Amino acid sequence: MLNVFSDKLLVVTVATKETDGFTRFMKSAKHFNYSVKVLGRGEKWQGGDYMSAPGGGQKVRLLKAALDKMKDEDRIILFIDSYDVVFASGPKELLKKFQQAGHKVVFSSESLIWPDRHLQDKHPHVKEGNRFLGSGGFIGYVPNIREMVSDWTGEDDESDQLFFTKIYIDPAKRKSINITIDSKCRLFQNLNGALDEVVLKFEDGRVRARNVLYDTLSVVIHGNGPTKINYLGNYIPNTWTFETGCTVCHEDLRSLTAIKSEYPLVVIGIFIQQPTPFVTVFFERLLKLQYPKNRLKLFIYNKVKLMQTIVFWCWCMNTSLSSFSDMCRKDEDCDYFFSLDIEVVLKNENTLKILIEQNLPVIAPMITRAGRLWSNFWGALSADGYYARSEDYVDIVQGRREGVWNIPYVSSVYLVKASLLRSELSDFELFNSNNLDPDMAFCHNVRSKVSRRRQGIFMYVTNMQSFGRILSTENYQTNHLHNDLWQIFENPVDWEERYIHENYTRIMKDKLIETPCPDVYWFPIFTDVACNHLVEEMENFGQWSGGGNKDTRIQGGYENVPTIDIHMNQVNYEKEWQKFLLEYIAPVTEKMFPGYYTRFDLAFVVRYKPDEQPALRPHHDASTFTINIALNQVGLDFQGGGCRFLRYDCSITSPRKGWALMHPGRLTHYHEGLRVTEGVRYIAVSFVDP
């Protein structure tokens, strides 16, 4: 048997630069008390670009030189990559499995052959598992590894994979050095070609990567596939567990409360690339950000002509997207670049502070779309670099797992350190690509182009707080004056926040429904903005009825009690108004008038003017009950007005803007519209029938 001891093991890796991936690797090594020797620090990487062509010869050269200096012939070397590797277990398990392999050198294995497919038939067959050698990780004794690399005379950019493969497929060398491969992934798990084989296994406060094909738990996880190592690294070895939650989310923070001088300067780039609802609200929220305004610089990229009347300042309207990050890059005072799309509803006023304090290179606040699983991040990538759903995506989006997550794609809103823009991300065309949209181009460039050795800069998303949501813009129509009024279906949450009175949700609980006259109920329903928009929309349409009895808009063509009005269907607002009535009026009517099924009939806006139609004669409404919403304010917009119920000799002479009167229409509540003596009065009327 092999006599192995943990103090004989040395992990050797090559890292010419301390990237985010290297930091992650070293943290996992420290967690399990591995001794690590790093080769190549400070050297320029000349080992080629793995993403487009074979390379890695520089690693073999550095290893060969290091082995020549090692005198302990009993030492065991674990030679692995570091930028895309994490440890899932400690030296004891690694050495035990190495001993059980029964060879002096054990390589990781892969199901795919690379870089020379013509060598496939020369690989020895295995009883079970992967057949092909992977050069990203191997373990063995110093003399055997020294013999293996002794013939290396190649250039730094030549293929280490091909070099070791040719040794392995040579029967004589394979026997002399005593090489085998870890075909069932007991020591090493390469992710290339194995994305669907590997799942997380949670056990006793730690997390492992389980190969479901061979039912093995690997010690070393090597992310030589698209991005699954980042997903696994969010958990392995104990970064996040069900028992503890996130164990690293509060490490290496940058405290803003400890800053005695000025806050970091943030350049905010706002992107308007399509017609978007609630733009005014967006800027109102932006002003509420809890961050010193003198430490913010604002730039707006606007491709939408319609928005020019709404956006109060538009800088560089026709410039490229990359120009905004370049503004921060060239401004020596800029500390962060905050990219923010106009469709983002940023509800958390402390968002900027929270992101800055996380002290990460690129970080996004998680935002979602109301009622859907859509979010502004991807949990994984497919083999061709597009969207793939990670195993934990739904749990993260729905908040069942909270943390700071390393992910391959973010969009819509994210914070970037300016120091990165001036160094690793110095490429001016950061947002540009021949076949990718700007967000995908940015993420691709951050993941790939910034480093010739993969896994350059990590991007993160945090869901440790609630930050907001994103608007739906797909069906946003722009053919009205106030297009946001029509958003009750597409963006119901934002529509409610904009147009429904802030006290509406309290009217039942806090008994805010008043009874100014018998069986007449009065309650808040609309905001001032809703009232203003509805009035302005009707005046913009302008086709008020003449106030005569003949009315072709209604069934029968005759109106017994005519008013100067515009019907909701004339402005194509009938469906939206029906939705409003069902969502917000029906719960009240069914409470006040139990037993009636709420079915809405006619809806219209009435205008009263002293020189046009100042009042309305006594009448019954053609309804079981009526909803009457005051759209402007007595004493400010008009004088006089109101409603008198004759049977009870009860008048409401001070209607409140945005409040609804609800009263029976037929039989008992014979009523009249009181005279308007000055100004213009507007009301929105709906007839309700059982």
Torsion of CA 237, 239, 240, 241, to 10 degrees: 40
Closest C-alpha to 604, from 596, 592, 616: 616
- Whether residue 456 contacts residue 447, with contact meaning beta carbons closer than 8 Å, is answered with yes
Contact by Cβ (8 Å): 678, 669: no
Catalytic residue among 61, 369, 447, 681: 681
What span, in angstroms and rounded, lies between the C-alpha atoms of 35 and 55?
27
Phi and psi, residue 648, nearest 5°: -105, 0
Whether the CB-CB separation of 616 and 561 falls below 8 Å is answered with yes
| Catalytic-residue membership of 644 | no
Quick count: other Cβ atoms within 10 Å of Cβ 73?
Answer: 10
Q: Which residues pair with 566 in a beta bridge?
A: 605
Of 497, 472, 362, 515, give the one whose Cα is nearest residue 425: 362
Q: Quick check: 614 and 656 in contact, CB under 8 A?
A: no
The three-state DSSP-derived secondary structure of 435-496 is CCCHHHHHHHHHHHHCCCCCCCCCEEEECCCCCEEECCCCCCCCCCCCHHHHCCCCCHHHHH
- Residue 363 contacts by C-beta under 8 Å, 6 or more apart in sequence? 355, 404, 414, 415, 459, 460, 461, 462
CA–CA separation, 154 and 133 (whole Å): 20
Q: Cis check for the bond before 292: say yes or no (omega within 30 of 0).
A: no
- Cα–Cα dist 641/606, whole Å: 12
Task: Give yes or no for a contact between 183 and 129, defined as CB atoms under 8 angstroms apart.
Answer: yes
Among the listed residues 221, 245, 195, the one whose alpha carbon sits nearest the alpha carbon of residue 379? 195
Whole-angstrom Cα Rg for the chain: 35
- Provide CB contacts within 8 A for 375, sequence distance 6+: 366, 367, 368, 369, 396, 397
How far is Cα 640 from Cα 267, in angstroms, rounded to an integer? 52
User: Is-cis flag, bond preceding 237, omega within 30?
Assistant: yes
What are the catalytic residues? 681
